[in-house]
Structure 1
Amino acid sequence: MGKGWAVDGQLLGSQWAANGQPMGSWWAGCGQRVGSQWAANGQIMGSQWAASEQLLGSYWAANVHLVSSPWAANEQLRGKSLAT
């Protein structure tokens, strides 16, 4: 029984080792594929966000410039009227 268990243990151990390797490789492969997909999505999403931020930044900059121009003009006019 001792020998039987030892042999079974070795065979079982070998089987697990063999199964562990393919499964390990499969997981590693899946991890790489999923990782690549995430990396690609991250880049695309990052680019999309960057583009949105640039557009939003430009939009805000333009609006602030437009908003500040009438205010600046009004302040100058108001300043002149107060000075006079």
Structure 2
Amino acid sequence: MKRLVVGPMMTPEYNEWLVRKINDNIPEPSHENSQSIEEHLRVFPSELEIIKQDFERRNAELEKKIEQIEEEKMNLRLDPDV
């Protein structure tokens, strides 16, 4: 009985096809919507934290307004012509 032995005599086209066939089964990351690691791991603030930040911002604005009004009040007391 004769046997056909297939050895390393593959054509370059077959070898390229075989490599592509094997590598096609490996998923590659999509670069269309890629994010950096820092963006991917970034923690989003909770609703409570957002409300707290908004409160602190408004509180700071009101404190500035209070200081301005108090300064105007002091200036009005010092100015006898008004």
Structure 2 length-normalised TM: 0.51
Compute the displacement of 1:52 (Å).
3.4
Greater RCO (CA < 8 Å, at least 6 residues apart): 2
Identity of aligned residues (%): 3
> Which residue of 63, 67, 74 corresponds with 1:70?
74
Question: What residue ranges of structure 2 are gaps of 5+ in the alignment?
Answer: 1-7
Greater fraction helix: 1
Report what 2:4 is aligned to. none
Cα-to-partner distance string for 1:23-69 (whole Å, 9 max, x where unaligned) = 316x88x84x81xx54715x77x936544322211111111111211
Compute the displacement of 1:9 (Å).
0.8
The structure with more radius of gyration: 2
Query: Is 1:24 equivalent to 2:26 in the alignment?
Result: no
3-state SS of 2:44 partner:
helix
Equivalent residue pairs, number: 69
Question: What residue ranges of structure 1 are gaps of 5+ in the alignment?
Answer: none
1:9-20 equivalences under 5 Å are 9-19=16-26
